[in-house]
Structure formats: C-alpha cells, structure tokens
C-alpha cells in the first residue's frame, strides 16, 4: 500500500478535481470525533441534557426462572468506530461504557413464586459492561442555518447489546430494553453533535446542504499504522454551498482516497470553482473601488485552473 503522506496527497490532487462535484469535502478522524463527543457529554452535566442513570427490570419471555435488575446505571459518552463501513451504506459502531451502577440477578425454582438474589455486580469504569449498537450517522437534511448541526441520535440504532452477561440472546434482550428507555427520553438527551456549521450572512462560503458518511481506512486501500485497528476511519462531511448542487457519491470505499494523511486529523477540500467564484472573484468585487463591474480572465494551465487576471476594476487604479 502507498504511504499516505501529505506529499502523496498533493500529487494526487494535482491530477484532476477530486471533490466528486461537491463544493467541499471535510474529513476528520475517529479520535477527534470521539473527543468532541466526550467534551460535549461532559459539558452536559451542568444541564439536564446528559443521559440520566437508568434503573430497569429486564426479563426474557423464554426464561421464567431468572430476571435481571440494573440499578442506576451511569453511561459514559458515546464512542464511534467504523468497521466495514462503506460510503454508500455508512454505519457507525456506537459503544457506550457503563461506569457506575449495580446489576442484580434474581432466580427462582420452577413453579415457585418467590424470587431470590443469586448474584450482585457493582459496575465501575474499569469492569463495567458496554452498550453497543449499529447507528446511521444522521444529518440535517434541510437548509443549514446558523444553528445547523451534524448529529448522531443514539436511540435510532439497530442490534443493541448490553454486555452484562455472556449469552448473546440475553445481551440483545437487555440492549433492546435500554433502547426503549432511550426512545422516550427528551431528544436533547439522546442527540450528540458531531459537527456544527455556522456562517454569517455576509460571508463568501455559505453551506446549504450536507451529508455525513463514514470512510473505512483499510477498506479504502490505505495502510494501517501501528496501533490502528480495522475500525480506523474518517467521518466525511459532503457540503453543498448556497446556489450549488449535490455532487456524486463514490460507490465503495476504494472509489475515494483516504483523505487523512498519516499524522493529520483533518482535511478540507474545496472545489476549484468555489475557490475561484466565491473566494477570489467575490473578494475582488468587494475590493473594487471603481463604478465599473469587475471583469477577469481565468488562467488555465494544462487544463487546470490556476488563477485569474483582472481586466476591469481595481483598487486605486491597479490590482
């Protein structure tokens, strides 16, 4: 596999436009995403927006001699990984650690009416179980406002499992019960912000629509570094600016280069037309000091846009 260096990335960008028709593509890594989630979760403890401790009875209709109680389970912040994710069907593996609470197991003999405690487990951050699920990375499908957010909703996943027991069936029974509790909580408690797009009315770049996708690093053909597992990946934000239209979606991971060079945590690609029209040309028009329209000639070399040459307008008689 090719070394995913900044230099190799720049050589790749020189060949042809790489944004697939999107006005911008933003990539940021899993570790930074998890840091954002954790910081937001910690900040919620001064409000009523964090996940409250969960106390619930968990019963399995196929087993009438055993039932479980989880008492005041405290959940840590969500953590994301992207094993096997592809760009057309982007899913995230969501894991939430239990960092406090008590797990009680009750049993009884067949036909008895009396339950007895058969096991007690005190959960903590070191040995507590984990709640896991497969979750779509959700986005705001409408127009991006000054409060536009890229969000993950932890009650919208599938295949929830709580690893407080070894049996996969019972893990799913417990996981589904937790999901049901999450589903009736206020939306603000189960919504986590991955990214936020804000803009001022007079700025040149105004995001309008965006999609969120996951990009698996190994699946894209990029080598894994020491300490990186198969779940290593990037979160991609595919952005359409005001007045633009959505681009094309790569069919598989391998149809798009992994956009985070080794040792880097974020990449921003802007479509060359956006750079030309929304940054250079609009900037020149704003600077124009003469009562005539600013006009220019694009500079193209080897079929690629390199800049513009002003023909009319200017600042103090010159550019």
pLDDT tens, residue by residue, 99-114: 999 999 999 998 898 9
Q: Provide the domain count of the chain.
A: 2
**Has residue 6 got a pLDDT over 60?**
yes
Task: Compute how many other C-beta atoms are within 10 angstroms of the C-beta atom of residue 271.
Answer: 22
Task: Provide the pLDDT for residue 144.
Answer: 52
Pairing verdict, β 148-153 and 116-124: unpaired
* Residue 161 and residue 32 share a domain: yes
Task: Compute how many other C-beta atoms are within 10 angstroms of the C-beta atom of residue 198.
Answer: 12
**Has residue 313 got a pLDDT over 80?**
no
Task: Provide the pLDDT for residue 109.
Answer: 92
Sign of CA dihedral 7, 8, 11, 12: negative
* Residue 148 and residue 253 share a domain: yes
Task: Provide the pLDDT for residue 230.
Answer: 84
Distance CA(291)–CA(29), nearest Å, equals 48
Distance CA(198)–CA(179), nearest Å, equals 32
Residue-number span of the structural domain to which 291 is assigned: 274-312
In a domain, 282, yes or no: yes
* Residue 282 and residue 241 share a domain: no
Task: Provide the pLDDT for residue 301.
Answer: 74
Q: Does residue 92 come out as left (phi exceeding 0), alpha (psi in the -120 to 50 range) or beta?
A: beta
Interior/surface letters 31-70, b for 16+ CB within 10 angstroms, e for the rest: eebbebbeebbeebeeeebbbeebeeebebeeeeebbbeb
In a domain, 123, yes or no: yes
The whole-number average pLDDT for the span 116-137 is 92
At 197, the pLDDT band (50, 70, 90 cuts) reads low
**Has residue 178 got a pLDDT over 70?**
yes
* Residue 298 and residue 258 share a domain: no
* Residue 285 and residue 183 share a domain: no
Block residue for tokens 């589904």: 176
- The DSSP bridge partners found for residue 315 are 318
In a domain, 319, yes or no: no
* H or E stretch at 238: strand 233-241
* Residue 74 and residue 107 share a domain: yes
Q: Which of 23-27, 78-82, 110-114, 119-123 has the lowest mean pLDDT?
A: 78-82
Distance CA(195)–CA(27), nearest Å, equals 11
Task: Provide the pLDDT for residue 317.
Answer: 52
């Amino acid at each position: 596999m090719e070394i995913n260096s900044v230099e190799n990335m720049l050589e790749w960008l020189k060949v042809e436009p790489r944004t697939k028709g999107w006005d911008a593509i933003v990539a940021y890594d899993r570790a930074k995403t998890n840091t954002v989630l954790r910081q937001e979760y910690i900040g919620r403890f001064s409000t009523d927006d964090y996940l409250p401790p969960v106390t619930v009875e968990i019963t399995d209709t196929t087993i009438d001699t055993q039932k479980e109680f989880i008492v005041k389970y405290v959940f840590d912040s969500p953590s994301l990984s992207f094993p096997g994710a592809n760009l057309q069907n982007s899913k995230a593996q969501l894991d939430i650690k239990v960092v406090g609470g008590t797990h009680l197991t009750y049993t009884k003999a067949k036909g008895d009416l009396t339950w007895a405690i058969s096991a007690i487990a005190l959960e903590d951050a070191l040995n507590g179980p984990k709640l896991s699920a497969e979750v779509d990375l959700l986005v705001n499908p409408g127009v991006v406002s000054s409060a536009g957010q890229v969000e993950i909703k932890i009650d919208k996943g599938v295949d929830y499992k709580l690893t407080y027991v070894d049996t996969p069936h019972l893990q799913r029974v417990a996981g589904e019960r937790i999901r049901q509790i999450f589903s009736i909580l206020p939306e603000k408690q189960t919504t986590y912000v991955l990214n936020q797009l804000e803009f001022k009315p007079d700025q040149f770049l105004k995001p309008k629509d965006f999609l969120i996708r996951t990009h698996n690093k190994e699946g894209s053909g990029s080598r894994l570094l020491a300490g990186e597992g198969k779940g290593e990946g990037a979160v991609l934000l595919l952005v359409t600016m005001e007045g633009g239209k959505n681009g094309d979606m790569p069919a598989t991971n391998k149809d798009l280069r992994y956009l985070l060079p080794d040792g880097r945590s974020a990449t921003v690609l802007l479509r060359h037309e956006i750079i030309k029209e929304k940054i250079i040309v609009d900037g020149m028009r704003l600077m124009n000091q003469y009562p005539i329209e600013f006009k220019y000639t694009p500079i193209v070399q080897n079929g690629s846009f390199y800049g513009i040459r002003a023909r009319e307008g200017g600042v103090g008689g010159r550019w």
